[in-house]
Amino acid sequence: MDMESSISEIIRLCFPAAKQVIARSHVQNLAFAAVQEMRSSFQSD
């Protein structure tokens, strides 16, 4: 499932009994991007 809040809301309305699952790879990619951003800001100081 896409992690966009608008898509999440549509799924919640259309399929109220469904469990929403976020792919582990999406979470890993977001975490990696956050760490890279922090790392680059520390290196530029």
pLDDT in tens, 4-45: 677 888 888 999 998 877 788 888 988 999 999 999 998 886
For the cut 80, the answer to whether the pLDDT of residue 1 exceeds it is: no
CA atoms within 13 A on the CB side of 4: 5
What is the spatial distance between Cα 7 and Cα 39, in angstroms, rounded to a whole number?
Answer: 31
Q: 3: which residues sit within 8 A by CB, 6+ positions away?
A: 22, 26
| pLDDT score, position 39 | 92
What is the spatial distance between Cα 15 and Cα 10, in angstroms, rounded to a whole number?
Answer: 8
Alpha helix segments (H runs only) across 1-45: 5-14, 24-44
